Amino acid sequence: MAAALVIFAWAVFWPSSPNRGFSAETAPMLLDGTEYQQTMDMAWKELLANEDLDAMSHLNQLREVGVDDPAVFMLAAVIEGGCGNWAGWEREVRQAASLAEGRVGAVDELAWEVGKNIDNREPWTWWPQVMHDHMERYPDDLLGQYLNVLGMRFWHLEVPLDEPALDRLEAAVPNAVAPIVLRAGIYQEMGRRQDARIALEVGLERNPRSAQLLAGLAATDLLDNPEEALLRAQRALQLDSSWYPARATFAIAALKLDREDDFQWMQRSVIGDEISSDACEHFVGRVGAFLVEQGRLREAGFLWDHMDERFQEDSNYVGRAKAAYQTIPTFTHQWLATSEQLEDRLERLEASLATPNLGGVVHQNGALMSSFVRGLLDARAGRVDSAERARQQLVQLRQRWEQRARLLEMELLAARSEAGTLLAGDDSCVPMVKAGTLLVDMGEVAAKVLFERVLNEQSFCDSVQQLALARAGMVLMALEEGNDELAREHLAALQSLWPRADPELPVMRRIAAAMAEQD
């Protein structure tokens, strides 16, 4: 399902592309040109219908009878990449590159260039130049245009945005949904929410019955207008009841509106469905993250465990490893999880990384996350030298790991009792709250200065979780000072942020114990 969103444009524009990279003449003698074209047509229709597995099945039929055209493998690579299966993406690209060696043509040359660089270094270090050179040579290659934009979406932190490239792709395929969704997704990642909304609204005017665009608009409404988000998600599901982004948005909107029955109904329907692990990952990933934001870690853990079971049932080891390193950051905050819980999640991550043939991107990210977590555990145990080595490894990387390197540095400062340096903090929400919580753990009342800024400066912090942690810190400090009345005021504010917080969270247990002592 997820892949169909990503590759929608392929099915729309490929048949008319002059550089599509295959033709009846390239089909082997085992399969005449007509049958070859019909099989590709069926794959396109299935991609349009969000039937990824069927589309891949038809591509596999072509390969089984000897079709050795790089275009078939590149299309399969995009399906795998759209599903987040980077091991599959790498495998298909390598195969396409091996077939394309020495050939001339847009798809052949692109497959060869991407395949040649795939083991070199992080993709974002070579992707922009490869795509720039390719588009210089083949400016009308729609496949190249699409992959260029796809790279901006995958690596938005490292790859610069090329607005004219977005415009050219949309102009080339004005009735396609995927380029619009890609544009909106890039804008969302960059914090340009209004631009994302406009892109989706314009697209919906051209495609009024698109469940994808309706679901996209619903997602943009979640922050400011959950009622409208719920209605739009319902309309999207009326058009396509299997569209899991709409289901996830419905569930989150229901939670924001305190419609627990609607949320539980949607959750049961998803868990009860025989859905693919990829669809499960999308729903659980988004809804689980929102539950964590609301302090409902136990419920998020239930969903994550269900997702892990689904991955194992599907033998989707790449998805399992990816989910393991994406969910573990929640357990790294000492007020949200104990070190024992963090160690348990680390064991799960490292077990998933032991699976052969995960692929470079998944394994690299998982290994870096493992190093980060081990650094945290070392810092908390006083093993500062090994923790510092882990921090240095993260510092050498670019934006994706910059904040984690800073969080690990803060744990090291706490381990060294350097309260003054911690108090200086960073001028942004997450590091400032982290510094404050560490200072509270050290018995430093100066943490109040950091928490007051987070809570009192409008728009400084828009994360419910971070605001709740700051408020929890104020509760603990008021109790430590013996100011019961102030503590209860802060507790009431905390409960309004986290009305259904898991009482077993370390910080909630700590507050309950401190209040019991006061009573």
Same domain, 97 and 174: yes
- The pLDDT tens digits of the residues spanning 334-344 come to 999 999 999 99
Same domain, 158 and 37: yes
- The pLDDT tens digits of the residues spanning 417-433 come to 999 898 886 788 999 99
Model pLDDT, residue 331: 95
Q: What is the mean pLDDT of residues 440-447?
A: 94
Same domain, 406 and 274: no
| Positive or negative: CA dihedral 9, 14, 19, 25 | positive
Could you say which of 416, 445, 478 is where a domain stops?
Answer: 416
**How does 455-490 read in b/e, with b if 16+ C-beta sit within 10 Å?**
beeeeebeeebbbbbbbbbbbbbbbeeeeeeebeeb
Reading phi first (left if > 0) and then psi (alpha if -120 to 50, else beta), residue 67 is in beta
Phi, psi of 29 (to 5 degrees): -65, -25
Helices (H) and strands (E) in the chain, counts: 28, 0
39-46 long-range Cβ contacts below 8 angstroms, 24+ apart? 40/72, 41/15, 43/11, 43/75, 44/10, 44/11, 44/14, 44/15, 45/11
- The pLDDT tens digits of the residues spanning 447-503 come to 999 999 999 987 889 899 999 999 999 999 999 999 999 999 999 999 999 999 999
Tell me if 120 is assigned to some domain.
Answer: yes
Tell me if 324 is assigned to some domain.
Answer: no
Distance of CA 242 to the CA centre of its chain: 20
Tell me if 362 is assigned to some domain.
Answer: yes
More confident of the two residues 48 and 184: 184
Model pLDDT, residue 81: 62
Structure token digits, residue 350:
């490292």
Same domain, 120 and 193: yes
Q: Is 11 a residue whose pLDDT tops 50?
A: no
Model pLDDT, residue 71: 78
Residue 46 pLDDT class (50, 70, 90 cuts): low
CATH code at 15? 1.25.40
More confident of the two residues 505 and 2: 505
- How many Å apart are CA 415 and CA 60, to the nearest integer? 55
C-alpha distances out from residue 463 to 199, 286, 460, 497, Å: 25, 15, 9, 10
Same domain, 65 and 183: yes
Same domain, 349 and 440: no
- How many Å apart are CA 465 and CA 302, to the nearest integer? 19
Read off the DSSP letter of residue 161: P
Q: Is 48 a residue whose pLDDT tops 50?
A: no
Model pLDDT, residue 377: 97
Model pLDDT, residue 493: 98
Q: At what angle do helices 484-497 and 464-480 cross, to 10 degrees?
A: 170
C-alpha distances out from residue 20 to 70, 72, 355, Å: 11, 10, 36
More confident of the two residues 421 and 81: 421
Q: What is the mean pLDDT of residues 89-114?
A: 87
- The pLDDT tens digits of the residues spanning 350-390 come to 999 888 767 666 777 888 899 999 999 999 999 999 999 99
36 in Cβ contact with 27 (< 8 Å): yes
Tell me the residue ranges of DSSP E strands in 322-396.
none
pTM listed for this prediction? 0.79
Model pLDDT, residue 33: 58
C-alpha distances out from residue 229 to 193, 222, 263, 471, Å: 14, 6, 14, 28
Structure token digits, residue 121:
């270094």
Model pLDDT, residue 506: 98
Q: Is 215 a residue whose pLDDT tops 90?
A: yes
Model pLDDT, residue 337: 96
Among 27-36, 102-111, 158-167, 479-488, top mean pLDDT goes to 479-488
Q: Is 28 a residue whose pLDDT tops 50?
A: no
Same domain, 71 and 156: yes
Could you say which of 416, 435, 460 is where a domain stops?
Answer: 416
- How many Å apart are CA 478 and CA 447, to the nearest integer? 12
- The pLDDT tens digits of the residues spanning 233-269 come to 999 999 988 888 899 999 999 999 999 999 999 999 8
Among 130-139, 348-357, 371-380, 396-405, top mean pLDDT goes to 371-380
Exposed/middle/buried for residue 345 (C-beta within 10 Å: 0-12, 13-18, 19+): buried
Tell me if 198 is assigned to some domain.
Answer: yes
Same domain, 409 and 448: no
Structure token digits, residue 405:
């390197």
**Residue 365 structural domain:** 337-416
Model pLDDT, residue 51: 55
Same domain, 33 and 85: yes
Tell me if 453 is assigned to some domain.
Answer: yes
- How many Å apart are CA 144 and CA 9, to the nearest integer? 12
Model pLDDT, residue 21: 37
| H helix intervals, 19-69 | 33-48, 52-64
- How many Å apart are CA 264 and CA 316, to the nearest integer? 26
Give the CA radius of gyration of the chain. Answer: 25
More confident of the two residues 24 and 164: 164
4 in Cβ contact with 47 (< 8 Å): yes
Q: Is 6 a residue whose pLDDT tops 60?
A: no
- How many Å apart are CA 493 and CA 254, to the nearest integer? 22
- The pLDDT tens digits of the residues spanning 142-175 come to 777 877 887 787 776 677 888 998 898 888 777 7
Same domain, 56 and 164: yes
CA 112-114-119 angle, to 5 degrees, is 110
Number of domain units in the chain? 4
Instruction: Please state, as a whole number, how many other Cβ atoms lie within 10 Å of the Cβ of residue 309.
Output: 13
Give percent of the chain above pLDDT 90: 46
Same domain, 108 and 186: yes
* Residue-averaged pLDDT of the chain: 84
More confident of the two residues 396 and 385: 385
Q: What is the mean pLDDT of residues 15-33?
A: 37
